[in-house]
Amino acid sequence: MSNEIEFENAIKKILEHIGEDVTREGLIDTPKRVRKAYEFMCSGYNQDPKEILEKALFTSTNDEMVVVKDIEFYSQCEHHMLPIIGKVHVAYIPNGKVVGLSKIPRVVDVFARRLQIQEQLTEQICDALNEHLKPKGVAVMIDARHMCMEMRGVEKICSTTVTSALRGLFKSNKKTKDEFLSIVAPSLHK
Protein backbone atom coordinates (compact mmCIF):
# COMPACT_ATOMS: atom_id res chain seq x y z
CA MET A 1 0.00 0.00 0.00
CA SER A 2 1.42 3.41 -0.94
CA ASN A 3 2.11 6.08 1.66
CA GLU A 4 -0.57 8.27 0.07
CA ILE A 5 -3.26 5.59 0.49
CA GLU A 6 -2.11 4.88 4.07
CA PHE A 7 -2.37 8.59 4.91
CA GLU A 8 -5.84 8.88 3.37
CA ASN A 9 -7.03 5.78 5.22
CA ALA A 10 -5.77 7.27 8.48
CA ILE A 11 -7.82 10.41 7.81
CA LYS A 12 -10.89 8.24 7.15
CA LYS A 13 -10.33 6.57 10.54
CA ILE A 14 -10.10 9.98 12.24
CA LEU A 15 -13.35 11.07 10.58
CA GLU A 16 -15.05 7.87 11.68
CA HIS A 17 -13.65 8.28 15.22
CA ILE A 18 -15.22 11.73 15.61
CA GLY A 19 -18.57 10.38 14.42
CA GLU A 20 -18.60 11.34 10.74
CA ASP A 21 -19.90 9.34 7.81
CA VAL A 22 -16.96 9.06 5.41
CA THR A 23 -19.34 8.26 2.55
CA ARG A 24 -21.16 11.59 2.97
CA GLU A 25 -20.90 13.71 -0.22
CA GLY A 26 -18.90 16.52 1.39
CA LEU A 27 -16.34 14.10 2.85
CA ILE A 28 -15.70 11.72 -0.03
CA ASP A 29 -12.59 13.60 -1.24
CA THR A 30 -11.61 14.98 2.17
CA PRO A 31 -8.87 12.39 2.88
CA LYS A 32 -7.15 13.25 -0.41
CA ARG A 33 -7.51 17.01 0.22
CA VAL A 34 -6.11 16.66 3.74
CA ARG A 35 -3.15 14.64 2.43
CA LYS A 36 -2.36 17.29 -0.18
CA ALA A 37 -2.76 20.07 2.40
CA TYR A 38 -0.32 18.36 4.77
CA GLU A 39 2.16 17.74 1.96
CA PHE A 40 2.16 21.50 1.35
CA MET A 41 2.04 22.59 5.00
CA CYS A 42 4.94 20.28 5.86
CA SER A 43 7.00 20.89 2.72
CA GLY A 44 9.77 22.50 4.75
CA TYR A 45 11.17 19.08 5.59
CA ASN A 46 12.19 18.73 1.93
CA GLN A 47 13.91 22.12 1.64
CA ASP A 48 17.40 23.30 2.53
CA PRO A 49 17.95 26.94 3.56
CA LYS A 50 21.56 26.73 2.37
CA GLU A 51 20.42 26.10 -1.22
CA ILE A 52 17.98 29.01 -1.07
CA LEU A 53 20.46 31.52 0.37
CA GLU A 54 23.63 30.61 -1.51
CA LYS A 55 21.94 31.14 -4.89
CA ALA A 56 21.28 34.78 -4.10
CA LEU A 57 24.36 36.20 -2.35
CA PHE A 58 25.75 39.40 -3.81
CA THR A 59 28.87 41.40 -3.00
CA SER A 60 28.07 44.71 -1.33
CA THR A 61 29.82 47.46 0.59
CA ASN A 62 26.68 48.03 2.69
CA ASP A 63 27.42 47.53 6.36
CA GLU A 64 24.19 48.94 7.79
CA MET A 65 21.20 47.05 9.09
CA VAL A 66 18.88 45.39 6.55
CA VAL A 67 15.40 44.73 7.95
CA VAL A 68 12.57 42.69 6.43
CA LYS A 69 9.44 43.13 8.56
CA ASP A 70 5.98 41.66 8.69
CA ILE A 71 6.75 38.37 6.96
CA GLU A 72 3.48 36.50 7.40
CA PHE A 73 3.76 32.81 8.17
CA TYR A 74 1.62 29.82 9.01
CA SER A 75 2.93 26.84 10.90
CA GLN A 76 1.58 24.05 13.08
CA CYS A 77 2.40 23.36 16.69
CA GLU A 78 4.04 20.02 17.18
CA HIS A 79 1.97 19.28 20.27
CA HIS A 80 -1.56 19.52 18.81
CA MET A 81 -0.94 20.03 15.08
CA LEU A 82 -3.00 23.21 15.24
CA PRO A 83 -2.09 26.45 13.42
CA ILE A 84 0.42 29.03 14.53
CA ILE A 85 -0.23 32.29 12.67
CA GLY A 86 2.02 35.30 12.85
CA LYS A 87 4.68 37.61 11.55
CA VAL A 88 8.44 37.34 11.48
CA HIS A 89 10.77 40.33 11.57
CA VAL A 90 14.35 39.75 10.43
CA ALA A 91 17.40 42.00 10.44
CA TYR A 92 20.99 41.41 9.54
CA ILE A 93 24.14 43.50 9.20
CA PRO A 94 26.00 42.55 6.00
CA ASN A 95 29.64 41.55 6.11
CA GLY A 96 30.61 41.95 2.44
CA LYS A 97 27.55 40.10 1.10
CA VAL A 98 23.81 40.77 0.93
CA VAL A 99 21.09 38.30 0.06
CA GLY A 100 18.20 38.73 -2.34
CA LEU A 101 15.34 40.01 -0.19
CA SER A 102 12.85 37.36 -1.34
CA LYS A 103 15.11 34.66 0.05
CA ILE A 104 14.50 35.70 3.66
CA PRO A 105 10.75 34.90 3.56
CA ARG A 106 11.63 31.66 1.77
CA VAL A 107 13.89 30.68 4.66
CA VAL A 108 11.08 31.53 7.08
CA ASP A 109 8.83 29.13 5.15
CA VAL A 110 11.41 26.33 5.20
CA PHE A 111 11.16 26.18 8.97
CA ALA A 112 7.53 27.30 9.38
CA ARG A 113 6.38 24.47 7.13
CA ARG A 114 7.39 21.87 9.69
CA LEU A 115 5.76 20.85 12.96
CA GLN A 116 7.13 23.47 15.32
CA ILE A 117 7.30 25.32 18.56
CA GLN A 118 7.71 29.05 18.13
CA GLU A 119 10.85 29.24 20.25
CA GLN A 120 12.62 26.74 18.00
CA LEU A 121 11.32 28.32 14.81
CA THR A 122 12.87 31.64 15.89
CA GLU A 123 16.24 30.00 16.58
CA GLN A 124 16.26 27.98 13.35
CA ILE A 125 15.64 31.03 11.15
CA CYS A 126 18.30 33.04 12.98
CA ASP A 127 20.89 30.26 12.89
CA ALA A 128 20.34 29.53 9.18
CA LEU A 129 20.82 33.19 8.25
CA ASN A 130 23.82 33.51 10.54
CA GLU A 131 25.48 30.36 9.18
CA HIS A 132 24.94 31.00 5.47
CA LEU A 133 25.14 34.82 5.23
CA LYS A 134 28.01 35.11 7.72
CA PRO A 135 26.85 38.63 8.66
CA LYS A 136 28.06 40.84 11.48
CA GLY A 137 24.79 40.07 13.24
CA VAL A 138 21.29 38.66 12.84
CA ALA A 139 18.08 39.35 14.74
CA VAL A 140 14.78 37.50 14.42
CA MET A 141 11.57 38.32 16.24
CA ILE A 142 8.31 36.42 15.89
CA ASP A 143 4.89 37.60 17.07
CA ALA A 144 2.30 34.85 16.69
CA ARG A 145 -1.08 33.50 17.71
CA HIS A 146 -1.38 29.84 18.69
CA MET A 147 -4.64 28.08 17.95
CA CYS A 148 -3.80 25.45 20.58
CA MET A 149 -4.27 28.30 23.12
CA GLU A 150 -7.30 29.83 21.39
CA MET A 151 -9.36 26.90 20.08
CA ARG A 152 -8.86 24.55 23.03
CA GLY A 153 -7.25 24.49 26.46
CA VAL A 154 -7.21 27.94 28.04
CA GLU A 155 -9.14 29.50 25.12
CA LYS A 156 -7.39 32.87 25.31
CA ILE A 157 -8.51 34.54 22.11
CA CYS A 158 -6.05 36.88 20.38
CA SER A 159 -3.22 36.38 22.87
CA THR A 160 0.17 36.52 21.16
CA THR A 161 3.58 35.11 21.92
CA VAL A 162 6.73 37.07 21.08
CA THR A 163 10.09 35.33 20.75
CA SER A 164 13.47 36.60 19.66
CA ALA A 165 16.88 35.28 18.69
CA LEU A 166 19.95 37.48 18.45
CA ARG A 167 23.42 36.77 17.08
CA GLY A 168 26.58 38.83 16.67
CA LEU A 169 26.23 42.60 17.03
CA PHE A 170 22.54 42.34 17.90
CA LYS A 171 23.51 40.40 21.00
CA SER A 172 26.73 42.19 21.94
CA ASN A 173 25.85 45.80 21.09
CA LYS A 174 22.91 47.37 22.96
CA LYS A 175 22.64 50.25 20.48
CA THR A 176 22.24 47.83 17.56
CA LYS A 177 19.68 45.76 19.44
CA ASP A 178 17.73 48.89 20.43
CA GLU A 179 17.69 50.13 16.82
CA PHE A 180 16.23 46.80 15.68
CA LEU A 181 13.60 46.88 18.43
CA SER A 182 12.61 50.45 17.56
CA ILE A 183 12.09 49.45 13.92
CA VAL A 184 9.98 46.34 14.61
CA ALA A 185 8.09 47.49 17.73
CA PRO A 186 5.31 49.28 15.80
CA SER A 187 4.55 46.00 13.97
CA LEU A 188 4.06 43.93 17.12
CA HIS A 189 0.55 42.81 18.08
CA LYS A 190 -1.13 44.08 14.92
Clarify whether 120 is annotated catalytic: no
Clarify whether 126 is annotated catalytic: no
Residue of 77, 120, 123, 150 marked catalytic: 77
Clarify whether 80 is annotated catalytic: yes
User: Do 137 and 169 form a contact (C-beta atoms < 8 A)?
Assistant: yes
Q: CA nearest 135: which of 190, 181, 96, 188?
A: 96
Region of residue 130 (phi > 0: left; psi between -120 and 50: alpha; otherwise: beta): alpha
Q: Does 77 carry a binding-site annotation?
A: yes
Q: Does 126 carry a binding-site annotation?
A: no
Residue of 20, 120, 123, 148 marked catalytic: 148
User: Is the Cα torsion angle 22, 79, 141, 61 positive or negative in sign?
Assistant: negative
Clarify whether 131 is annotated catalytic: no
Residue of 118, 124, 126, 132 marked catalytic: 118
3-state secondary structure of 106: helix
Cβ within 8 Å of residue 108, ≥6 positions away: 71, 73, 88, 90, 125
Clarify whether 189 is annotated catalytic: no
Clarify whether 77 is annotated catalytic: yes
Clarify whether 118 is annotated catalytic: yes
Residue of 6, 51, 72, 79 marked catalytic: 79
Q: Does 158 carry a binding-site annotation?
A: no
Residue of 47, 80, 123, 150 marked catalytic: 80
3-state secondary structure of 101: coil
The C-alpha torsion from 130 through 49 and 79 to 82, rounded to 10°, is 120
Which residues sit in the known binding site for Zn(2+)? 77, 80, 148
Which residues sit in the known binding site? 77, 80, 148
Catalytic (active-site) positions: 77-80, 118, 146, 148
